[in-house]
Structure 1
Amino acid sequence: MSIQLLDAPDPLRIAVLAHLHHPIRAPFAGGMEAHTAHLVSDLSSRGHRVTLFAKAGSEALSPRATLRIHPVISGTFEVRGYPDDHLKNAQHRKLDGAMKSAVEHVRAGDFDVVINNSLSPIPHAHLQGMAVLHILHTPPLPRITSLLDKQKTDERHRFATVSAVNARAWRRWLPQLEIIPNGINMEFWGNQPHAEVSAGTAAWTGRITPEKGTHLAIAAARANNLRLAMAGPIQDREYFNELIAPSLAEDARYLGHLPQEELRQLIGSSEVFISSPLWEEPFGLTTLEAMACGTPVAALPAGAMAELIGTTGGALATARTAAALGHAVARALAMDRQKVRERAAGFSRELMIEAYESLLAQIAAPLALRGRES
């Protein structure tokens, strides 16, 4: 199957199931939360009737948005990133219970189509017979793949993911998998009226966790005598305390969890952006945001980094080491900022939302009609 772009699809009644670890609100806890917020905002602005099932405290991006928000888990419930087995099982029970509640409301509601934008296996198991788009934001998760091993894929369910590298990882279970790259607001990220590039500066943004490799970014910046500014939520306090905090100094500053306007200023005024994932990063919104600012990216060769930066958006390290990342930083500093920005333009939010809108219209259509359109 493939996506057929449609002209002005009829308005749909859409239920969106969010990842329940964090509220959907700015400043975003991570890329999934940002993706969900912009997806529901853009679908609402295009006339669709959207209901978001999410953690309490979630907010619409605009106070004028017609988005409806249905909280399904307390905003005070804190998800710990690396608990022992006992706590992990307790967290799963709490989150699964909340997702089951969301699914029950969806089944009782009057929706044309459901978007599963979570990491939960519950929508895969309990939305049989409904029109569903599952968006896969991570490499294969055992709790989902074990379910796919046991059950036949519902013919009313479709699947999409955010990059070709992530699609390859999932195709063992889902051979008919669409690829819809994430997109960003090029007008916002490319518009920095007061951002003048400051010589000798580098930026790093994202979740501060071991798999994001923040410590390697510090080493790579220092190898090039650059002053590194870091921003983002600390999601692994032990990692931060043991590896990041002792490295902080005048040439390596942590600025906290900044709003997007301040992130744009920080990234746009830096000579280079360092992306240091140590896991198979399925996409990398912060990398794309930097490119949209015209800031060349130096990246570790993990996940979708090569897909994003190509040959003009930045420089890819030859190995997942601080030394190799340092050499990539040196190469990225010499790159043409206009060409970097042009590379990012191929990942606009307009292109993303048009692809999702057309796919949702196909999924919501009666099966007989869908068969003729495929």
Structure 2
Amino acid sequence: MRVVMIAPPWYDVPPLGYGGIEAMLAELVSGLSRRGHDVTLIGAGRAGTAARFLRTYDAAPSERIGEPMPEVLHAAKAYALALDIDADIVHDHSLAGPLSAAARAVPTLVTCHGAIEGELGEYYRVLGPAVSMVAISEAQRRFAPDLNWAGVVHNAVETASFPFREHKEDWVLWLGRLNADKGAHIAIDVAREAGRGIVLAGKLTEPAEHDYFEREIKPRLGPDAEYVGQADAARKRELLAAARCLLFPILWEEPFGMVMIESMACGTPVVALKRGAVPEVVADGVTGLVRETVEELPEALEAVGALDPHACRAHVAGNFDVEVMTAGYERIYRQVIATPREPAGGTRDLALPVT
């Protein structure tokens, strides 16, 4: 198949540091290319995959996250670039890009990477049959079952690219974006109560992240709680492989959580709260311990040492490897391409309120 892949504009593909969507995209592009598909990637910054690369920004405008114009301009450029490509399907991972789906002759598939409840779900609801949707977890799809879903495909990693380590060190790891919903402050409190040291590595670039860090994280740091900055791909693998476990005390219904599969790929189990897609990703009692409340987490930090690192690695290889994800998207591409759709520029009724 001939696939046009549209990335968000904010980070390179693959990302040099933080960037879960971009990491997933890089793996999908590689997987599709290995299986003989013709992939064109439209994105910002440097060319980092085997796909033909068309650039919307010379440098990814990471410092402008939160501003509308980079997203809108990227979407407009991506639409114009895609017009010149003889494709079977456009697979869009950006926010504004799907607005142009109804104007193109080939179908558009959108992977929803965010929380689907609220305005994001309303946005896709208005787009209606102009886009086919892929959820990254069953938990995500349950929040908006009425959308034009084509299926569910879990995110994935190249399992072999993560170092396996059987014997772990004593400290626990928190890794992610520094905002309250990710629960870094809770992770410090839980590790301290359990008598375990904790290492925190996370994205700290946006004003809201700095505010949260100054208010909740900095006062909690000490000899047993160290913040080591944002980890690049190599450093992230070192930390994940060495840690006793990954602590994942999320406070929202996160639709996936890439760091969980990255951790398990290293043979490192996950201790997490039962929110969002956690029960789909972590095999409770086998590759981690999933708990209902924060109060149960300190005990879990002790019990997690009995789990088998080999089982963690095998779980990822069998369920969350790039080959599994790629096969899932291949199946959905064929399904969407074969489904009759309205002509480009066609009209339809929208269930919008009239005032």
- Shorter chain as denominator, the TM-score bin is 0.7 to 0.9
Change (3 A) 1:234 1:355: same
**1 CA distance for matches of 2:160 and 2:60?**
35
Superposition TM-score, scaled by structure 1 size = 0.81
List alignment gaps of at least 5 residues for structure 2: 342-355
Name which of 202, 210, 224 aligns with 2:180: 210
**AA in 2 matched with 1:98:** H
Q: What residue number does 2:71 align with?
A: 95
Give CA deviations for 1:295-354 in whole Å, capped at 9, x if unaligned.
1211012111111112211111222x3x33323323323323233333323221111111
Q: What residue number does 1:153 align with?
A: 129
Does residue 118 (structure 1) correspond to residue 94 (structure 2)? The answer is: yes
Does residue 364 (structure 1) correspond to residue 337 (structure 2)? The answer is: yes
Change (3 A) 1:359 1:291: same
Instruction: Indicate the SS of the match to 1:51.
Output: strand
Does residue 105 (structure 1) correspond to residue 76 (structure 2)? The answer is: no
Q: What residue number does 2:231 align with?
A: 258
* TM-aligned CA deviation for residue 180 of structure 1: 0.8
Q: What residue number does 1:183 align with?
A: 156
**2 CA distance for matches of 1:327 and 1:119?**
40
Q: What residue number does 2:281 align with?
A: 308
**2 CA distance for matches of 1:326 and 1:207?**
22
**1 CA distance for matches of 2:164 and 2:70?**
42
Superposition TM-score, scaled by structure 2 size = 0.85
Q: What residue number does 1:137 align with?
A: 113
Change (3 A) 1:331 1:123: farther
Q: What residue number does 2:297 align with?
A: 325
**1 CA distance for matches of 2:195 and 2:32?**
45
Contact 2:191 2:198 in 1 (8 A): yes
**2 CA distance for matches of 1:42 and 1:246?**
44
Instruction: Indicate the SS of the match to 1:333.
Output: helix
Instruction: Indicate the SS of the match to 2:203.
Output: coil
Does residue 46 (structure 1) correspond to residue 35 (structure 2)? The answer is: yes
* TM-aligned CA deviation for residue 219 of structure 1: 1.1
Instruction: Indicate the SS of the match to 2:71.
Output: helix
Instruction: Indicate the SS of the match to 2:92.
Output: strand
* TM-aligned CA deviation for residue 28 of structure 1: 3.7
Q: What residue number does 2:204 align with?
A: 234
Instruction: Indicate the SS of the match to 2:56.
Output: strand
Moved more, 39-48 or 309-318: 39-48
Does residue 197 (structure 1) correspond to residue 173 (structure 2)? The answer is: no
Q: What residue number does 2:347 align with?
A: none
List alignment gaps of at least 5 residues for structure 1: 1-11, 82-87, 369-374
Map 1:349-360 onto structure 2 (within 5 A). 349-360=322-333
* TM-aligned CA deviation for residue 162 of structure 1: 1.1
* TM-aligned CA deviation for residue 244 of structure 1: 1.6
**2 CA distance for matches of 1:144 and 1:271?**
37
Q: What residue number does 1:339 align with?
A: 311
Give CA deviations for 1:124-157 in whole Å, capped at 9, x if unaligned.
6555542222111122165543344445413xx4
Instruction: Indicate the SS of the match to 1:205.
Output: strand
Name which of 71, 92, 110 aligns with 2:55: 71
Q: What residue number does 2:353 align with?
A: none
Map 1:269-284 onto structure 2 (within 5 A). 269-284=242-257
